Homo-oligomer: A and B are copies of this chain.
Amino acid sequence: MCFLETGFHQTGVRDIAARAGVSLGNLYNHFPGKHDVLLEIARLERQELDPFIALLEKDGPAPKRFGKFVGVYAKYLAAPENVILTIEITSEAIRKDDLGELFWKNRAALVAALTRLLQRGVENGDFNLPTSPEEAAHMVLELIEGRAYHSVLGEAKMRKLLPGLKAFLSAAIGAKAR
């Protein structure tokens, strides 16, 4: 995808069309304008979250689920394409409300699932949250994303960052060794 290589604003509609294998004119039969192409991509991103949500909602011990989730989600975000796309979308969402809404709707789905997991963990005595489950869920996600940005923009290796991240998060949510 050329938004990744060139960035949304640097990419011309001709490039988009060419990469999509459509003629320029036909691109406009599918999208009202360039902006809507990004919107559609953001919409597709939503589907990529489904496996993570599914993972969070599976049965089983909360700490194990949590650890697993952190690992796979971090690895997913460590792919430059995912981070860069997120940044492009975020950056555009600042001034385009429709993108903004979509952005938060996507995230809300993830937050909700993670919140439920944390809640369950608290009820089982597995976690000792320093704040509400929902707030904690937000922060967990933000931290994972922060690490991902670091790994991509700063060219660190997520592989090396992950243990520290997990330890930090475990401490933060008061995860108990069993």
A residues with CB within 8 A of B: 6-7, 9-10, 84, 87-88, 90-91, 93-95, 100, 103-104, 128, 130-132, 135-136, 138-139, 141-143, 145-147, 149-150, 153-154, 161, 163-165, 167-174
Cα distance A143–B149 in the bound complex, in angstroms? 12
Copies of this chain, complex-wide, total 4
Residues of B within 8 A of A103 (CB): 153
Contact among B94, B131, B136, B150 for A138, CB-based, below 8 A: B150
Minimum Cβ distance to chain B for residue A76 (Å) = 17
A7 & B153 in contact (Cβ 8 Å cutoff): no
Cα distance A138–B138 in the bound complex, in angstroms? 18
A94-B7 CB under 8 A given contacts A142-B150, A164-B132, A164-B139: yes
Q: Chain A contact residues: over half helix, strand or loop, or mixed? A: helix
Residues of B within 8 A of A7 (CB): 91, 94-95
Contact among B90, B132, B146 for A153, CB-based, below 8 A: B90
Nearest first, the 7 A-B pairs at minimum CB distance are: A142-B146, A172-B172, A130-B167, A9-B9, A131-B164, A91-B91, A130-B171
Cα distance A95–B87 in the bound complex, in angstroms? 12
Minimum Cβ distance to chain B for residue A32 (Å) = 15
Residues of B within 8 A of A128 (CB): 171
